[in-house]
Amino acid sequence: MADLATDAIEVREGVDRETVETVQNMGSYKYGWDTEIEMEYAPKGINEDIVRLISEKNEEPEWMLEWRLAAFRRWQTMTEPRWALLTYPEIDYQDQYYYARPKSMEVKPKSLDEVDPKLLATYEKLGIPLKEQMILAGVERGEDAGEERRVAVDAVFDSVSVGTTFKDELAKAGVIFCSISEAIREHPELVRKYLGSVVPQSDNFFATLNSAVFSDGSFVYVPPGVKCPMELSTYFRINAENTGQFERTLIICDKGAYVSYLEGCTAPKRDIAQLHAAVVEIVILEDAEVKYSTVQNWFPGDEEGKGGIYNFVTKRADCREARAKVMWTQVETGSAITWKYPSCILRGDDLSGEFYSIAIANNMQQADTGTKMIHLGKNSRSRIVSKGISAGKAQNTYRGLVTMHPRATNSRNYTQCDSLLIGDQCGAHTVPYIEVKNNSSRVEHEATTSKVDDDQLFYCRARGVGEEEAVALVVNGFCRDVLQALPMEFAMEAQSLVAISLEGSVG
Amino acid sequence: MLEIKNLHAELEDGSKQILNGVNLSVPAGQVHAIMGPNGSGKSTLSYVLSGRDGYEVTEGSAKLEGQDLLDMEPEERAAAGLFLAFQYPVEIPGVGNLTFLRTALNAQRKARGEDELSSGEFLKIVREKAKTLNIDSDMLKRSVSVGFSGGEKKRNEILQMAMLEPRMCILDETDSGLDVDAMRLVAQGVNALRSPDRSFLVITHYQRLLDHIKPDVVHIMANGQIIKTGGPELALEVENSGYGDLLSEVG
Amino acid sequence: MMADLAIRESQAQAKPAAGDALTQRLAVLPHPASGITAAARQDALARLEKMGLPGRRDEYWRFTNPGVFNDPVPAPIPVQTDANDSPLFEDIDRLRLVFVDGRFDAAASDALTGEGFQIDLLSAAEATASHWAGEVYGVLEANGQTPVSRPFAALNTFAATEGVLIRVSGQVARPVHIIHRRRSDAADVNLHHVLLLEEGSEFTLLETGMIGARSNIVIEADLRAGARLHHITAKLASHPKVGIGHIFARVAAKAQFKSFELSVNGRMMRHESVVDIAGDDAVAHVAAAVLGNTADGPFHHDNTVFITHAGERCESRQVYKKVLSDGAVGVFQGKILVKPGAQKTDGYQISQSLLLDGDSQFLAKPELEIYADDVKCSHGSTTGAIDETALFYLRSRGVPRERATVLLVLSFLAAALDEVENADLRERIAERLEEWLMHRAQNDRTQNPPA
């Protein structure tokens, strides 16, 4: 009977057997365990001394410290933005730890072999292989079947980078992939040139805080003409309690280069909300292309809204020169609060900016997420596809800006944002800003809001699929435009996440 | 009627040369067909003749009854008697089919120094002609092409042709997307308009339309040139053996 | 007298935070001191002082600079000597109410009587001991101040010097037509109309003409169960208009509210439509066709719409179309708010602009905020130039370029005009609009002869 059901389902668009099986096999938030490991903390709270301490722990040069201090002084004059459709208690910024690292990381391991086995085991358990030559489970690519798909990983545990794989092989291609703290020490000329050039220190409250206290994160430089030989990935894990994670990622894709970058995140289940304020800056030069994919799976809090990550993230790509391309893809299933607008500054001519998003909010989750497409140069194309799913008592908002400056002639934007409601206690909202200042450009925005289609649900159930699985199937179908934009292994992870995130949303 | 000499045209941005010296002469009262593979320049020829933006004539001439077409605005070409039946007629929501027809007809009459038709006269004529094309009054009342089926759109083009009474009619792939019955109806409409002082240029990929609209002369077009000219039998030749043989024969 | 004192006191208590701008604005604002609306006016003043005048950083004024509405007195606009009433509705049977610079002109107007409705002037009602409007005046405006504040509406409720109070009990076929005229260059006009449509009644309100150097108009429309209101405001004359208008409608079960605006040129115009669909099975349609170039000075036209669905199985439509050229700026802020429990809501919103040249701008914020699941809500917004293929098609049929452009502009506006339910009125509007467009096209040609 079950077989019959899945067979029947496979003919339906956008859904597949994996989803069904995943739903059947998995419990709810599966990354909620923690690692018992001896940690070293900076004192609670934030002040200039803490900023100095973070800088010192990272063995940073003086200029970096000055940069941080300038940001900190600026931050003290700023107020937390409250314009998003988010309700959360006031955050006490003095009641957080701003630096936490495993004791074993005090002396920097020279290679992965020297890393504390407990840490390696943590990532193993998360399904993130830190041993080189391993492949992500079950991944095979159609066109070059048989060949192993390799992904280089930078693993960040609370405030520090634990290790980066495939560094040597990447170095042979000229690609620099390391933690940002290492880049500050080893490649200061690149970091000084580009850090803060896309997201300035003073950009917004959370980005400024990050500029002051970021502890680690990833750094990527792809030299001119190089197609990065493998996908790069950073895996963020918040483990310690009461600890904010403030990672900073800087990606520079030089002329004619290409890189695909994946980001994943998880955190243990804890009763108290944790703060996460990251900054991602991407610089893309002439003819270069960057794909940035995120599967955000922070702990979303429990059914009553206790705990979870407060996620305030600034992500921005700057297409500085002609024919540059950027593609953001995000699957947002985690976080109690999401405040996140990965954006594209389309500065050169003939550029392409794309944003694909799935945001799922269940139980008491709240998400306010979207993008900005800022068209400054001529003949550029941008595309926004956003799929928001609300269930339980969650609130889910798409917020976006499309602007065509007077000189951004002959450009196009197409925006499609769809919302799906599951249950009558949740909310789905759309807040687009559209500013068109020349007439040779064309801007189209479409949005729809509806509930899960009863006919589709009934069809699935009539074929023997349980209600919850049926919802997951239908939702995966609803999201297919975005799922298709993800790298293969992420797409599969995302499909199962969709299913898991919606557990308990019906009945 | 229509004299095309050594016509060269490229895309306005200079990226591609499409017409490479077309020579064509269509005498009054004749029906000529142009056949050719996709990308041969057939549709471009119809656009260049009717004055669509986006093309630059670099060499050659095109004259309608001695008047230089290439110097004229599209509406002047229409008033001079040129009519292009579109492959994809444009939908204009909110503009009634009748309003549109009357606007076009009176604009042309005015341009030629003729009196405009009164509302009553106009309606009488349009109803008559619509009837022969099986166009009901509902279609006349609706917005131009909005909600029309493929066949209705093409019949509507022929109705416009009948109303505007052009001297030189170009039919651009009028058969595309039509089933046999719809095609027969359109062809009947066209045949009814054949007269000694009116000429037709029928652009088509397939021979089947020419079963219904019998051409006097058939031209084969490839790479932006007329590569072969003959009688109706040429169309049958294409039908039986495709374009490949003809192209290699010439090439 | 007491009311007057009270107002002055609360004025004196205005917090500095509300801004000196408000104090200055209020200082020169004449307002009726007493009468049936005195209490409502005091409440409005208290609201206004609490919210203050909007500033440039106010999110609700993101796209429109409120400066000209904040100024204590308007900049004078010379009266055009040849200005005539709009011929738009001239030969239809209607009850004409003529206002000159915001003052009622009884001699030029028809008698204030009609079958199926009662009509009074606000100024006359103020003097009576009791009037139905005393209970209604300012109520919908006050309700419409959350979740977004609308200071100029509160200012209007406080300061309106005149208005029309209409209570409809029957099915009224004959429209009431408010005709505005200008005599003075510097008139600052604040009018406040109240419409109460009793159960099952039907009514049509038309508005035309230029209003002062600056206008602030509020219409409160209370539609009881099954009532139907048709509202058309048409500003066809090319004239440097400066004005802000609010229409607050409450739509009860099975009632239908339809409001259409036609606006051509101007200088700085903002129209806010605030519709509360309170009952079940109700319908609200709001639409506008706006055309602007800068022949009468900088053109800025803002439509701000807020539709709240509280009832079940209700339908709302917003259709906004703007044709802009010569550096004209069009703004659309539209929101559909579906409250919890407003199931089976069908909400639709479209905002489109046609930019005829490279200097014009369209700024839009089309919002959905939805707290019920069994709904069908959608919005679309597009901006772009005229469709070259359609233009060529028309020209290839012999229609000259300028006429073809006019036809395509009309085609673009058609969906907005379709919201005028009465076919006769709709056709009149379309015809006048076409005439105006052709006239403008010919003017353009004489000014810029083709090369």
Contact C399 B75 (CB under 8 A): yes
pTM reported for the whole predicted model: 0.87
Question: pLDDT for C146-193, tens place per residue?
Answer: 999 999 999 999 999 999 999 999 999 999 999 999 999 999 999 999
Residue scoring higher pLDDT (C237 or C241):
C241
Count of CB pairs separated by less than 8 Å, B with C: 83
What DSSP line would sit under B49-87, residue for residue?
Answer: HHT-TTEEEEEEEEEETTEEGGGS-HHHHHHTTEEEE-S
pLDDT-wise least confident of A71-75, A134-138, C215-219, C376-380: A134-138
User: What's residue A18's pLDDT?
Assistant: 45
Residue scoring higher pLDDT (B20 or B243):
B20
The answer for residues whose C-beta is within 8 angstroms of residue A60's C-beta and 6 or more apart is: A181, A184, A185
Tell me whether the omega of the peptide bond preceding residue B93 falls within 30 degrees of 0, making it cis: no
Distance from CA of B244 to the nearest CA of C (A): 33
Structural domain range at position B211? 2-250
Q: Can you tell me the ipTM of this complex? A: 0.87
Q: How confident is the model at residue C363 (pLDDT cuts 50, 70, 90)?
A: very high
User: What's residue C449's pLDDT?
Assistant: 45
Interface probe for A, chosen from C309, C383, C386, C387 (most Cβ of A below 10 Å), is: C383
Contact in structure between C318 and C333 (CB atoms under 8 Å): no
Q: What is the number of structural domains in chain B?
A: 1
User: What's residue A108's pLDDT?
Assistant: 67
Nearest CA in chain C to A449: C377
B93 interfaces chain C, CB cutoff of 8 Å: yes
HEC profile of chain C? CHHHHHHHHHHHCCCHHHCHHHHHHHHCCCCCCCCCCHHHHHHHHHHHHHHCCCCCCCHHHCCCCCHHHHCCCCCCCCCCCCCCCCHHHCCCCCEEEEEECCEECCCCCCCCCCCCEEEEEHHHHHCCCCCCHHHHCCHHHHHCCCCCCCHHHHHHHHHCCECEEEEECCECCCCEEEEEECCCCCCEEEEEEEEEECCCCEEEEEEEECCCCEEEEEEEEEECCCCEEEEEEEECCCCCCEEEEEEEEEECCCCEEEEEEEEECCCEEEEEEEEEECCCCCEEEEEEEEEECCCCCCCEEEEEEEEEECCCCCEEEEEEEEEECCCCEEEEEEEEEECCCCCCCEEEEEEEEEECCCCCEEEEEEEEEECCCCCEEEEEEEEECCCHHHHHHHHHCCCCHHHHHHHHHHHHHHHHHCCCCCHHHHHHHHHHHHHHHHHHHHHHHHHCCCC
Contacts of C364 in chain A (CB under 8 A): 432-435, 445
Mean residue pLDDT across chain C? 91
Query: Which sign does the torsion angle of CA C89, C92, C94, C97 carry?
Result: positive
User: What's residue A4's pLDDT?
Assistant: 34
Q: What are phi and psi of A172, to 5 degrees?
A: -60, -35
Nearest CA in chain C to A420: C373
When computed from its CA atoms, the radius of gyration of chain C, rounded to whole angstroms, is 21
Contact in structure between A212 and A64 (CB atoms under 8 Å): no
Contact C411 B104 (CB under 8 A): no
The answer for residues whose C-beta is within 8 angstroms of residue C309's C-beta and 6 or more apart is: C277, C316, C336, C337, C338, C339, C342, C345, C347, C372
pLDDT at C12 over 60: no
Residues of chain A with a CB closer than 8 angstroms to some CB in chain C:
83, 85, 404, 406, 409, 419, 421-451
Contacts of B143 in chain C (CB under 8 A): 411, 414
Q: How confident is the model at residue B248 (pLDDT cuts 50, 70, 90)?
A: confident
Contact in structure between B34 and B203 (CB atoms under 8 Å): yes
CATH value at residue B160: 3.40.50.300
How far apart are the C-alpha atoms of A426 and C186, rounded to whole Å? 52
How far apart are the C-alpha atoms of C164 and C121, rounded to whole Å? 5
Buried b (16+ CB within 10 A) or exposed e, A249-282: bbbbbbbbbbbbbbbbbbbbbbeebbbbbbbbbb
Contact B90 C397 (CB under 8 A): no
- Across the range C314-337, mean pLDDT stands at 96
- Across the range C344-348, mean pLDDT stands at 96
Q: What are phi and psi of B238, to 5 degrees?
A: -60, -45
How far apart are the C-alpha atoms of A383 and A368, rounded to whole Å? 19
Contact in structure between B10 and B55 (CB atoms under 8 Å): yes
pLDDT at C2 over 60: no
Q: How confident is the model at residue C4 (pLDDT cuts 50, 70, 90)?
A: very low
Residues of chain C with a CB closer than 8 angstroms to some CB in chain A:
59, 340-341, 343, 353, 355-385
Which among A96, A340, A339 is positioned nearest to A238, based on CA atoms? A96
Contacts of C379 in chain A (CB under 8 A): 430, 445-447
Mean residue pLDDT across chain A? 84
Count of CB pairs separated by less than 8 Å, A with C: 116
How far apart are the C-alpha atoms of C202 and C212, rounded to whole Å? 30
Distances (CA, A) of A401 to A90, A315, A406, C173, C419: 27, 14, 16, 46, 30
Contact in structure between C235 and C208 (CB atoms under 8 Å): yes
DSSP-derived secondary structure letter, A76? H
Contact in structure between B66 and B23 (CB atoms under 8 Å): no
Contact B92 C404 (CB under 8 A): no
- Note whether A touches B: 3 CB pairs or more under 8 A: no
pLDDT at B241 over 90: no
Q: Give the residue carrying structure tokens 């019906």.
A: A506
How far apart are the C-alpha atoms of A208 and C410, rounded to whole Å? 51
The pLDDT averaged over each successive group of 10 residues in chain A (507 residues) is 34 39 48 74 89 92 96 95 91 88 72 72 68 39 44 76 80 92 94 96 95 92 94 81 84 97 78 87 97 86 84 96 96 89 96 95 93 97 96 94 96 96 93 95 94 81 78 86 81 78 73
- Give the rounded percent of residues in chain C with a pLDDT score beyond 70: 93
pLDDT at C451 over 50: no
What DSSP line would sit under B164-222, residue for residue?
Answer: H--SEEEEESTTTT--HHHHHHHHHHHHHH-BTTBEEEEEESSSHHHHHS--SEEEEEE
How far apart are the C-alpha atoms of C311 and C339, rounded to whole Å? 8
pLDDT at C11 over 50: no
With contact defined as 3+ CB pairs under 8 Å, the chains touching C are: A, B
Nearest CA in chain C to B73: C395
Residues of chain C with a CB closer than 8 angstroms to some CB in chain B:
387-390, 392-401, 403-404, 407-408, 410-415, 417-418
Contact C395 B78 (CB under 8 A): yes
Query: Which sign does the torsion angle of CA C107, C109, C113, C117 carry?
Result: negative
Q: What are the beta bridge partners of residue C48?
A: none
Residue scoring higher pLDDT (A423 or C316):
C316
Query: Which sign does the torsion angle of CA C28, C30, C34, C40 carry?
Result: negative
Nearest CA in chain B to C392: B52
